[in-house]
A = this chain, B = another copy of it.
């Protein structure tokens, strides 16, 4: 018996259907592109990437699609910086936390099971249904540490 593979496209399509919405080419293209970006992204970057590939998808559509992708758990907000939100796709990735250097702005990911423990236990204790959790460390990386932040 073969293992059925559920792709992010399937998940999104099912979600869209279940909500009585329409699975459009634009939405699929946006999703595909997001899963091509193996890094954090913002709306502008996504828009430009689509544009460079010849897609004429408006920013409005991007702004309208992202909340759907977040709702079905394929994408999450990572941090707010420079006045706008940064995202990442998460399907197929282990949960992870972020360290962000306030000086060079580098972002590192790391994993620690205790974080999931904390949220699992909190959820159990208070009867919460966890949609997602996020842990972020802000500071100065080894390189920038001495240099008085800049």
Q: A85-B80, A134-B135, A135-B115 are in contact. Are A129 and B122 (CB under 8 A)?
A: no
Residue of B nearest to A146 (CB): B129
- Expressed in whole angstroms, the Cα–Cα distance for A127 and B99 within the complex equals 12
Q: A129-B140, A139-B128, A142-B127 are in contact. Are A118 and B119 (CB under 8 A)?
A: no
- Expressed in whole angstroms, the Cα–Cα distance for A126 and B100 within the complex equals 13
- Band of interface residues on A: 35 or more
- Expressed in whole angstroms, the Cα–Cα distance for A114 and B117 within the complex equals 9
By a beta-carbon cutoff of 8 Å, the part of chain A in contact with chain B is 77, 80, 85, 97, 99, 101-102, 108, 110, 112, 114-115, 117-119, 122-123, 126-142, 145
